[in-house]
Amino acid sequence: MARAAHPQAMQPKKPGTTRTAPPKMPDGFPGKGRYRTYVAFETTGLIYLLMGFIILRAIWQLGAGEAGWNGVMDAYRNPIMIGFHVLALVGVIFVGVRFFWLFPKAQPPRIGPVRPPPAAILKGMLYSVWIGTTLVMTWVLAGGAF
Amino acid sequence: MSDVQIKKFVVTRFDPDKDEVPRTDTFEVPCQSDWMVLDALNFIKDQLDGSLSYRWSCRMAVCGSCGMNVDGAPTLTCKSPLSSYGDTVEVTPLSNFPVIRDLVVELDGFMEKLKAVKPWIIRAKEKAVEEGPYRQSPEELEDFKQFSLCINCMLCYAACPVVGNEPDFIGPAAIALGYRYNLDSRDEGASERNAIFRGEGSVYSCSFANECSEVCPENVDPAAAINQAKLSGLVDWAASLVLPRGGKD
Amino acid sequence: MVETHRHDVVIVGGGAAGLRAAIAAVEADPNITVALVSKVYPMRSHTVSAEGGAAAVTREDDSFEMHGYDTVKGSDFLGDQDVIEYFVEQAPKELTLLEHWGCPWSRNEDGSVATRAFGGMSIKRTWYAADKVGFHMLHALFQHSMRFDRIVRYDEQFVTRLLIDDGQVRGVVALDIRQGTMRAFLGRSVILCTGGGGKIFPFTTNGNIKTGDGMALAYRAGVALKDMEFVQYHPTGLPGTGILITEATRGEGAYLKNKDGERFLVTRDYGVGSKAELGPRDLISRAMVQEFEAGRGFSGSYGEYLHLDLTHLGEEKINQRLPMVRELAKVYGGVDPVYEPIPVRPVVHYMMGGVDTDIDTATQLPGLYAAGETACVSLNGANRLGSNSLTECLVFGARSGEQALQFSKGADDGNERAVRAQAEEEQARIDQLRGKVKGGEKLARLRVDMNKTLESGCGVYRQEDSMQQTVRDIAQIKGRFADLALEDKSKVFNTELVSALELHNMLEIAEVVANSAASRKESRGAHTRRDAPTRDDQNCLYHTLCFFDPAGPRIEKKDVTLGTWVPEERKY
């Protein structure tokens, strides 16, 4: 059974002349069927919120000097933290893929006389930038730049 | 004729004079192999129960009357072959809409939303008919043509997770049709409509679930229109900060 | 108590003609209001299904004379020539207005509006928006109409009767389908724009809503229906469903082929000459039936059919010009026209006849106007040319809006109490019909019997005995209608009640079609008799008028308005 929607959903401002059965949310929303991917996409927001707290805490700990930093590093070796970061990685990839899938259609048909490239090329560009950035970051973090 | 297969139809019934809440009826229908879902409903209406109520007319996917949920998915019933469904088919009224009777939903809410986006050509000065048609290149036509193909079948509203939660949201079809005029080279009303898009029930309510475009039987891609309108509304707004008189002219 | 709404002009029907009439009326006077009363939301109107295009003289190498002559010849010289001259002159202006209102017409490279070839037209003069012309025109008109608050829409109101007092129309009374109660829409003039009634036939391109309601309303009120024997078969509908495959396919170069792969319109003499596939619809439909009779058709589960071959046009052209045809053929015909021919057969498409009006769209009943397929202004005569009807809706829709407004300004409100009493009577009649459980007849059976007899008596080819049989059959089915049983007693959105009222209307016009057909003793345009195969200008160059009479339909004759073009043999 579908859940109830907002009772005013798609109601005209001037109410109809006969009693209606209240609107229902789309079938399966939020947890089942076609909406699962979309809801999962939205839920990844929670991961980034948590991630934000973790980073904030890490920065805060820097105030405590080298001991604080080592504490943060120790905490990151905790299996729960590793699990969380793996989850976050999966979430980011998922969001990236979905975002890149939808991004081309959000482009205006043209800006002045210039048309955006075809969806496939646009997607290719996005993926190249993503993968490129990841490689550069990995190289930098691995100490390659210093 | 073609092969016949018996299918069971579980159909929502609701008569406000008799039923407190919607209920279901089950019908067994001998379906021909080339039938659409609508053909089975017409069989029920003609042969089994004359009181079943639903809207239909053109039976060629252009009038937009016969949208319903079939097995939970918003569907244009005249365009959906029964062969792609199982032995039991569930037909319910479109979600997100108040139900008037059986499979008939309230459309006036949409009519208000459509009118609100000013879906007509806005000009500072109307062109006189004696001056003949506007020039519009095939490329300029291509800019908006896709969004002009909406048949107002309401499947997009039924699929949208935002529509059911935010009653003010203008919603997919109406935004696509308003935005279609923004893209029309003959129109000069884009900033007026963008202000509407930013106002009550704004385009920014859309969380890009993309379900409207998934169910659209005419490949209008209303999600594209909405998300393009978000950007163009933003650009317009920013321009209005710099050029207080509205950014255009 | 019947709820009452008063406006200056009441328009019944929200398709192209009705919307155009409403816009014309409110644009002509900033102080009036118009009621737009429709049994469906306007964008559901059957204009939406028109595919091919709308004709008007806009090219340098075209002329009013050429469009006029094509139309007169297409009509088999039964069109009124003053009407045709007015029509061709107004057509360019009306299509331009639609362009200004946002209709997405297809374009040439230089940005001008593109034109395509159409059957019976001597030059490419048909404007198009891919192959969804009716859809785009309807939505452009509907969306444009939304800017006028003075066009007050009453959606899903099924008009059941004209309110007449003191010899003048005073409004209409309608069933509010949602509420199940009656509403009276009072106005000093009324325009009928309810479309045709193709659903009296079993195989038709027409949607379910096309039940001849406006024709029946006028007919019962004593207004004549004119030239109702002329029913157009469109050559290319899908077998089974009857879904329209537009003539624009042939305009773009498609071929009709028989089972030997032969382009019979080229290889055999069917009177279409070098026009071949671009001959007028009546001639091509007859040619197709003759191919069936000669055993050169394919046979399938829905009877015989022929092939409409687009394969040589190429995928790009089909996608660009005929995207809807491709989609329809795939979904409803099971073939992809890029690679395979489409199975087609002649199918009932359009009624040339309708409510008798003069060139100003006025009927014989003061205050009552009609436009579009409902009306017979005598533009189309005995056979309509493809792409003239959408333009007709605009030209005469606009005319009716202006004329009805003029009338409204000079008329009084009449005796409101008398018309309210009529509305109350109508409420009682409808209440009685709703949930009339006692009776031995079912809606669907009556409808099927009506469909069958119409096809056997008033099909592509007709003859005396079968037409007379149909006349008798329809009278008998009308009798059986009194014994109709309905299951749905509910007030709210009772579609069975609406279907019963529609069937009543259909039986009325079916009777008129059959009687008008039986009365015409010649072959002309779409009315082709095996027992009188030639046109007889000596005795039969007249319009058929059919009047309601309790004793049965009464036939009269009316002169055809001739002019520049003298009737001649119709050879292409």
Residues in Cβ contact with C433 at an 8 Å cutoff, skipping those fewer than 6 apart: C486, C497, C500, C501
Q: CB–CB of C78/C194 below 8 Å?
A: no
Record: contact B228-A11, CB cut-off 8 A: no
**pLDDT score, position C375:** 98
- Pick the residue from chain B with its C-alpha nearest to A21: B99
Euclidean distance between CA atoms C14 and C22, whole angstroms: 9
The structure tokens listed for C298 are: 């394919």
Q: Is C364 helix (H, G, I), strand (E, B) or coil?
A: coil
Residue B169 DSSP one-character state: -
**Per-residue DSSP letters for C265-315?**
HHHS-SS-GGGGGGS-HHHHHHHHHHHHHTT-SEEETTEEEEEEE-GGG-H
**pLDDT score, position B5:** 96
**pLDDT score, position C567:** 97
Write the pLDDT tens digit of every residue in A78-133. 999 999 999 999 999 999 999 999 999 999 988 878 888 999 999 999 999 999 99
Write the pLDDT tens digit of every residue in C276-319. 999 999 999 999 999 999 999 999 999 999 999 999 999 999 99
Length of chain C equals 572
pLDDT-based confidence at residue B229 (cuts at 50, 70, 90):
very high
> A87 and A115 share a domain?
no
Across residues B3-30, what is the average pLDDT?
A: 97
Give the closest-approach CA distance of C493 to chain A in angstroms: 10
Euclidean distance between CA atoms C45 and C145, whole angstroms: 15
In a domain, C43, yes or no: no
In chain C, % of residues over pLDDT 70 = 100
Neighbours of C252 (CB within 10 A): 21
Where in the sequence is the domain holding A65, given as residue range(s)? 24-106
**Per-residue DSSP letters for C493-509?**
T-HHHHHHHHHHHHHHH
**pLDDT score, position A1:** 65
Euclidean distance between CA atoms C264 and C570, whole angstroms: 20
Break chain B into its structural domains and give their ranges: 4-105, 108-242
Query: Domain total for chain C?
Result: 2
> A32 and A102 share a domain?
yes
Final residue of a structural domain among C347, C368, C392? C347
Euclidean distance between CA atoms B215 and B223, whole angstroms: 11
C178 in contact with A at a CB cutoff of 8 Å? yes
Record: contact B129-C96, CB cut-off 8 A: yes
What CATH architecture is B108-242? Orthogonal Bundle (1.10)
Record: contact C104-B141, CB cut-off 8 A: yes
Final residue of a structural domain among C315, C347, C379? C347
Domain of C296: which CATH number? 3.90.700.10
In a domain, C515, yes or no: yes
**pLDDT score, position B248:** 44
> A33 and A89 share a domain?
yes
Neighbours of C124 (CB within 10 A): 15
Q: How far is CA C512 from CA C161, C226, C541, in A?
A: 18, 9, 19
Q: CB–CB of C243/C328 below 8 Å?
A: yes
Q: CB–CB of C322/C252 below 8 Å?
A: yes
Write the pLDDT tens digit of every residue in C72-105. 999 999 999 999 999 999 999 999 999 999 999 9
* pTM for this predicted structure: 0.96
Give the closest-approach CA distance of A146 to chain B in angstroms: 40
Q: Which long-range contacts (CB under 8 A, 24 or more apart) does A30-34 make?
A: A30/B161, A33/B72, A34/B73, A34/B211, A34/B214
The structure tokens listed for C43 are: 């964008």
Please report the residues numbered 351 through 410 in chain C whose beta carbons come closer than 8 angstroms to any beta carbon of chain B. none
Q: Which of B36, B127, B133, B129 is nearest to B89 (CA)?
A: B36
Q: Give all strands (DSSP E) within C322-441, no chain letters.
A: 342-351, 354-356, 368-370, 375-376
In a domain, C244, yes or no: yes
The structure tokens listed for C311 are: 């394969």
**C-alpha angle C225-C226-C230 in degrees, rounded to nearest 5:** 115
**pLDDT score, position B189:** 96
Give the closest-approach CA distance of A139 to chain B in angstroms: 34
In a domain, A4, yes or no: no
Domain B4-105, CATH: 3.10.20.30
Residues in Cβ contact with C203 at an 8 Å cutoff, skipping those fewer than 6 apart: C237, C242, C345, C347, C348, C455
Q: How far is CA A114 from CA A108, B185, C56, in A?
A: 10, 15, 36
Residues in Cβ contact with C294 at an 8 Å cutoff, skipping those fewer than 6 apart: none
Euclidean distance between CA atoms B26 and C19, whole angstroms: 41
Mean pLDDT estimate for chain A: 91
Write the pLDDT tens digit of every residue in B55-104. 999 999 999 999 999 999 999 999 999 999 999 999 999 999 999 999 99
What ipTM was predicted for this assembly?
0.97
Residue A22 DSSP one-character state: P
Handedness of CA A95, A97, A100, A102 (dihedral sign): negative
Question: Residue A113 region, left (φ>0) first, then alpha (ψ -120 to 50), else beta?
Answer: alpha
Of the residues C44, C116, C183, C250, which is catalytic?
C250
**pLDDT score, position A143:** 82
The structure tokens listed for C409 are: 């300004």
**pLDDT score, position B240:** 84
Q: Give the rounded distance of the alpha carbon of C504 from its chain centre.
A: 18
Neighbours of B166 (CB within 10 A): 18
Q: CB–CB of C79/C378 below 8 Å?
A: yes
The structure tokens listed for C411 are: 């008329």
Identity of residue C265: L
Q: Which of C328, C385, C378 is nearest to C358 (CA)?
A: C378
Record: contact C146-B144, CB cut-off 8 A: no
Q: Tell whether omega for the bond before A30 is within 30 degrees of 0, i.e. cis.
A: yes
**pLDDT score, position C501:** 98
- Pick the residue from chain A with its C-alpha nearest to C493: A18
Residues of C in contact with A14 (CB under 8 A): none
Please report the residues numbered 87 through 126 in chain A whose beta carbons come closer than 8 angstroms to any beta carbon of chain B. 102, 105-110
Q: Which of C459, C499, C466 is nearest to C481 (CA)?
A: C499
C179 in contact with A at a CB cutoff of 8 Å? yes
Residue with tokens 């019933």: B77
C503 in contact with B at a CB cutoff of 8 Å? no
Write the pLDDT tens digit of every residue in C165-197. 999 999 999 999 999 999 999 999 999 999 999
Give the closest-approach CA distance of C131 to chain B in angstroms: 12
> A114 and A88 share a domain?
no
Mean pLDDT estimate for chain B: 95
Identity of residue C171: G
> C343 and C437 share a domain?
no
Query: Domain total for chain A?
Result: 2
Where in the sequence is the domain holding C341, given as residue range(s)? 236-347
pLDDT-based confidence at residue B194 (cuts at 50, 70, 90):
very high
- Pick the residue from chain B with its C-alpha nearest to A42: B207
Q: Which of C515, C212, C259, C239 is nearest to C355 (CA)?
A: C212
Across residues C200-217, what is the average pLDDT?
A: 98
